[in-house]
Structure 1
Amino acid sequence: MQKLIDLFSGLLALFFRPQKPEQATPEPEKASPTGMSPDGLAILQYFESCRLDAYWDADGKVWTIGWGDTGPDVVEGLRITQAEADERLKRRLAREFVPGVLNVLTRPANQAQLDAMMDLAYNIGVSAFQGSTLLRLFNAGDQAGAAEQFPRWNKSGGKVLLGLRRRRAADRARFLGATGAEAIKTGAAIQ
């Protein structure tokens, strides 16, 4: 009789034993960002501002229009619509600045970091960004060091400009994870 009880207990234990906890399905890796987010675009547009008539840049050297757009077709007397300015910005980001930044990153960037680096590149030019200490530090894994490089890009024509100090403060804040609105507020507060 004891053998029958032991057998029955063994069968019950087999069927009612605690199950191994199910393996959690690993969360799929987030895809790396591939362009400027609405937060990044808000920062760019806030600090760049939009002018629909061609004007000289801050150094008085380059004809500019729209959201800081330059090029051989930007000449004295050119006037565009707001829709044209928005389209020029979108095209130029996609053609020049997104690939110009993404192609030189050797480590993954989160969306906030990418937004900040793209705004910097848009403002200083892709070549200057690609040769920057900021990029070198970021690619070396020194995110704190890279963040501290933003304020260094505050001059135009050798002069420190309040507008660039504000924009770089916003870029730094975005790089460190602030939303677009928070970054703009940080930049705008610089005196």
Structure 2
Amino acid sequence: MVTTNKQRAGWAAIALTMVAGFEGLRQAAYLDPVGIPTICFGETKGVHMGQRATLEQCKGMLAASLQLANHAVDDCIRAPLPDYRRAALVSFAYNVGQTNLCGSTLARKLNAGDIAGGCDELLRWTLAKGIKLPGLVKRRHAERNMCLVGAE
């Protein structure tokens, strides 16, 4: 399901706030909890230690990555997506990537019409390199709650 500009405004603001809040902003590269070089709002692609970024560069990376995450959601999810559900899935895709979203039980359940079951699947994605991270537990609970908004 492709979104229009009018639809984009609602979910995009929600996703931006959610992702920026959970990722936090760091303008100097750092190692994330499992040792992956990271910068800005959780960007990892092509990042090397010692790298620095301006606030504008970080905002640009975030906008581009959110757009990619939204395209992933469009590519993988055929079920109707109200703003909060789309925002939750964009946050999830931003964090785990399109391949993980598309191949997930979460996507399968949502596409089969099992909204509650699909949203509940978010709670299973709390590990990074086999380590349960408290930040991912909090994030997944927030994503799940947003995913369920308006579900019957």
Structure 1 length normalisation: TM-score? 0.71
Give RMSD over aligned pairs: 2.0
Which residue of 105, 114, 128 maps to 2:100?
A: 128
- Aligned match of 2:138: 166
Q: Is the 8 A contact 1:33 1:109 kept in 2?
A: no
Structure having the larger proportion of residues in helix: 2
Q: Does 1:104 find its partner at 2:72?
A: no
Instruction: Determine the structure 2 residue equivalent to 1:90.
Output: 63
* 1:27-66 matches, cutoff 5 A: 33-34=7-8, 36-60=11-35, 62-66=36-40
**One-letter amino acid of the counterpart of residue 112, structure 2:** A
Q: Percent same amino acid among aligned pairs?
A: 32
| TM-score, normalised via structure 2 length | 0.88
SS, match of residue 45 in structure 2: coil
Look at both structures and tell me which one has the larger radius of gyration over its CA atoms. 1
Q: How many residues align?
A: 146
**Runs (4+) off by over 4 Å:** none
Question: Which segments of 5 or more consecutive residues in structure 2 lack a partner in the other structure?
Answer: none
Give the letter for the 2:44 counterpart. Answer: T
Partner Cα distance (2:90, 2:49) in 1: 28
- Structure 1 runs not aligned, ≥5 long: 1-29, 179-191
TM-superposed deviation, 1:104: 1.5
- Cα distance in 1, alignment partners of residues 123 and 45 from structure 2: 27
SS of residue in 2 equivalent to 1:64: strand
Q: The residue matched to 1:103 in structure 2 has which SS?
A: helix
